[in-house]
Amino acid sequence: MKDVKIAWSGITGRTGMEALARVKDVSNVKIVAGLMRNANYTTSKLLADIIYDGGACGMTCRQGWFELGVADYLERDFLGWTYKTLRLDLEYGKALFTTLGMDVIVDFSHPSVFDTVLDLAVRTHVPLISGTSGLGVKQMNRLQEAAKEIPIFRGGNFRFKVKKFLDDAVALAKDSDSNLTLYENFYEGKSLPSETAEVLRRKIQEATGKVIDVSSRADLSKEDLECQWQFGNVACKTEGFGELAENVLQIARIMVTKKPKGSFYELDDIWEEVNL
């Protein structure tokens, strides 16, 4: 299998930086372009250092970093590689991504740049993995419409560990006559309730007709970026963004083979193809 070429929107975010650090450990994927809202000498140098130290794409791989929020064109040379920062014009972006042979776009960024990223995915006809939280109703409607034209992954959950928890929780709900509540706790600043809670509500209602209660809070330390779920005797805990980034890279490798299906792909749709 040839390497899947990824453009990562939100490359300087927590998930993006973890993806750069871990991409070398995931077979047949490369991050060859990054999009960011704000770029400067510091962020460009940081990206150069990470790729140099981590060997994310190998020393012969040339990267392109594209900023979504500035009009000035910058070109700097770090460690022998050229990094370009520019306002990403859609027509230019389409031509550039076609030239690079881009296979998939991953978007873990910010609602303010979502529309530009979605337009770029549609114009280049490549799959989009949409992980940006806080999207408005109009933006979600646009994403739904775009799913008729390109394959889009937007499952409410990207972590394989959480997928297993959801399956176990649904099985428990099927076998239980009691009213069960999902308890979730997160690091400070997390949006509540989580998309994972909404996914579990939907899955259990579809499978059993039951409507579960959700109790959410966010009083864990930011230091470990910990997330906890408890549903009856079924529990799950995640920490940090490294495992999430690695799972998203594996999803990208699978999504490049998919066709538009008119609705979002989620882990249930590709689970048999996940190499656990």
Task: Give yes or no for residue 253 having a pLDDT over 90.
Answer: yes
Q: How far apart are CA 25 and CA 222, in angstroms?
A: 26
Place of tokens 């960024």: 109
Amino acid in the structure at residue 45 = K
Mean pLDDT of 174-192: 90
Query: How high is the pLDDT of residue 239?
Result: 92
Query: How high is the pLDDT of residue 275?
Result: 60
What's the number of CA atoms in the CB half-sphere (13 Å) around residue 57? 23
Name the band, by pLDDT with cuts 50, 70 and 90, for residue 117. Answer: confident
Q: How far apart are CA 250 and CA 212, in angstroms?
A: 31
Q: Are β-strands 4-9 and 29-36 bridged in parallel, bridged antiparallel, or unpaired?
A: parallel
Amino acid in the structure at residue 33 = A
Task: Give yes or no for residue 140 having a pLDDT over 70.
Answer: yes
Tokens of residue 161, six digits: 């560990």
Query: How high is the pLDDT of residue 102?
Result: 83
For residue 92, what are the CA distances in angstroms to 39, 69, 82, 116? 18, 15, 18, 12
Task: Give yes or no for residue 145 having a pLDDT over 90.
Answer: yes
Query: How high is the pLDDT of residue 112?
Result: 83
Name the band, by pLDDT with cuts 50, 70 and 90, for residue 100. Answer: low
Query: How high is the pLDDT of residue 52?
Result: 40
Task: Give yes or no for residue 68 having a pLDDT over 60.
Answer: no
Q: Which residues does 145 contact at the CB level (< 8 Å), separation at least 6?
A: none
57-71, 148-162, 179-193: the lowest-pLDDT one: 57-71
Name the band, by pLDDT with cuts 50, 70 and 90, for residue 69. Answer: very low
What's the number of CA atoms in the CB half-sphere (13 Å) around residue 190? 24
Mean pLDDT of 117-133: 90
Place of tokens 């209660």: 213
**Of 184 and 193, the one with more pLDDT:** 184
Query: How high is the pLDDT of residue 11?
Result: 82
201-233: pLDDT as tens digits: 999 999 999 999 999 999 998 888 899 999 999
Q: How far apart are CA 126 and CA 149, in angstroms?
A: 9
Share of the chain above pLDDT 70, in %: 76
Tokens of residue 53, six digits: 């130290």
- 234-239, long-range: CB within 8 Å, 24+ apart, which pairs? 234/165, 234/168, 234/169, 234/172, 235/165, 236/161, 236/162, 236/164, 236/165, 238/159, 238/161, 238/162
Q: State the DSSP string of the chain.
A: -PPEEEEEETTTSHHHHHHHHHGGGSTTEEEEEEEES---HHHHHHHHHHHHHHTSS-TTPPPEEEESS--S-EEEEETTEEEEE-B--HHHHHHHHHHHT--EEEE-S-HHHHHHHHHHHHHHT--EEE------HHHHHHHHHHTTTS-EE--S---HHHHHHHHHHHHHHHH--S--EEEEEEETT--SS-HHHHHHHHHHHHHHS---EEEEEEEE-TTTTEEEEEETTEEEEEESSHHHHHHHHHHHHHHTT----SS-B-HHHHGGG---
25-66: pLDDT as tens digits: 899 998 877 777 665 544 554 454 444 444 443 333 344 455
